[in-house]
Amino acid sequence: MSGLRKKRRLAFIRTAIWTAVLFIALQIGISLYVKLDTVYHFRLNYNMFLDNQQSIEVVIDEISNTIEKENLQDYIILVGNSVAWGTNEKSDHSLGKYINELSGEQVVFNLSAPSMQPGDIYTLLLMLDRKGIRTDNLVIGLSYSAFVERVNGPRAVFWLGDYLRELDSEAFGKARSQLVHNGYEYRTGWEYAETKYLHQALSLLPLYRYKDAIVSHYEEQKDGTDLLGDPRPWFEKKYTEKKLQDPQYLNFFNPKPFVMSEENWGVFFMNRIMEHQEGKKTLVFINSANGELSKKEIANPGYQDNLRKLESYFAETEAIYLNLQESIPSDMFTDHVHLTKEGNQKLAQLLWQAWNGEVN
């Protein structure tokens, strides 16, 4: 009987050893499989990010690895909202693609994502700091609506509230009520600790850390495209009067006078971004709106006054400022603000000219 128990014990030990070996091999294999192009192709994989905002850590890690491996020194970070990301076009027709074609050996990493607000951009800069990624060369894309009064949203930090809480508790404390009012889940006590520290612990395991990246990459490969939206120009689509009276659309052009103090969440976070970027090269551009489809809204005196307020605000900073209104032809838009392939090419040209101090 004792001999049988000994055999069983040895069999168990062998099984445990092989299980451990296979588990370790799986972790190593996953780590070797996931590269920058698994989660990023001229822009981050939005479906991955949408499913799990923590997946942006993987993108940042892989950018850091690429910078170190290729010994990149003079790279540029691009961060903005859906226009900079390239909604309604695939990544090969996006701003990230075309600006990299113009920049040559000076690599541009595009960390933009739809719905990103100035608060997300500020938080992202802190995340890059933590990883040792320099922001000596930074391009920021914003919409006019980033400075519109946020009566019923969007959140001042739309995606990255948990990271702001961790990296700048003072700024988070000031913004917390606005975030919670607009849907941010503010966890406390054990629930917060469990969420934060369990994620940190599990992230040490590649199988956990890269699970969303692998699934999203597989689905993208299966679909054969990373297109998000309809790439047709706006005039091939049906825009009814009802659609042009939609409150969300109208709020994008809200002509109510901007309050250019820290009561305005756009200003609140841009002040912190500008402080972070002191002594560094920074370009800020305000996306153009469709001059034909949105002619009425753009012509509103209040809208024009607010654009002048933004120009005055950025004139007091070290940033290169670019208001792109009327700079992109209306036939290069897919809707009121997003661009066609040709529009993204035009945007890249305008940004690169401004970055290099060339007259448009």
Residues with Cβ within 8 Å of 186's Cβ and at least 6 positions away in sequence, in order, are 176, 179, 180
- The residue written with tokens 């939206």 in the block is 229
Mean pLDDT of 4-12: 70
- Measured CA to CA, the distance from residue 44 to residue 204 in angstroms comes to 22
CATH number for 34-355 (one of 3.40.50.1110, 1.10.3720.10, 3.40.50.2000, 3.10.450.50): it is 3.40.50.1110
What pLDDT is stored for residue 190 in this prediction?
A: 79
Distances in Å between the Cα of 298 and the Cα atoms of 87, 117, 123, 251, 325 are: 21, 21, 31, 12, 9
SS3 323: strand
Taking the model in full, what pTM does it have? 0.91
Distances in Å between the Cα of 321 and the Cα atoms of 33, 100, 284 are: 40, 20, 5
What pLDDT is stored for residue 151 in this prediction?
A: 84
Residue 13 has pLDDT above 90, yes or no: no
Residue 17 has pLDDT above 90, yes or no: no
User: Residue 285's closest CA among 130, 175, 121, 155?
Assistant: 121
- Measured CA to CA, the distance from residue 145 to residue 215 in angstroms comes to 34
Per-residue pLDDT tens over the stretch 299-358: 999 999 999 999 999 999 999 999 999 999 999 999 999 999 999 999 999 999 999 998
Report the percent of the chain where pLDDT is more than 70: 89
Which residues pair with residue 339 across a beta bridge?
A: 333
Per-residue pLDDT tens over the stretch 80-120: 999 999 999 999 999 999 999 999 999 999 999 999 999 99
- The residue written with tokens 């689905």 in the block is 219
Residue 170 has pLDDT above 60, yes or no: yes
- Measured CA to CA, the distance from residue 109 to residue 103 in angstroms comes to 11
Per-residue pLDDT tens over the stretch 276-298: 999 999 999 999 999 999 999 99
Contact 172, 122 (CB under 8 A): no
What pLDDT is stored for residue 239 in this prediction?
A: 85
Residue 131 has pLDDT above 60, yes or no: yes
What pLDDT is stored for residue 130 in this prediction?
A: 97
- Measured CA to CA, the distance from residue 11 to residue 7 in angstroms comes to 6
Mean pLDDT of the chain, nearest integer: 91
What pLDDT is stored for residue 69 in this prediction?
A: 95
Mean pLDDT of 32-48: 86
Higher-confidence residue of 243 and 139: namely: 139
Phi/psi region, residue 352 (left: phi>0; alpha: psi -120 to 50; beta: rest), is alpha
Pairing of strands 76-79, 137-142: parallel
| Number of neighbours of residue 165 by Cβ within 10 angstroms | 22
What pLDDT is stored for residue 223 in this prediction?
A: 87
Neighbour-count burial of 157, counting CB atoms closer than 10 A to its CB (0-12 exposed, 13-18 middle, 19+ buried): buried
What pLDDT is stored for residue 35 in this prediction?
A: 75
181 pLDDT band (50/70/90 cuts)? very high
Report the percent of the chain where pLDDT is more than 90: 75
240 pLDDT band (50/70/90 cuts)? confident
Domain ranges of the chain: 34-355
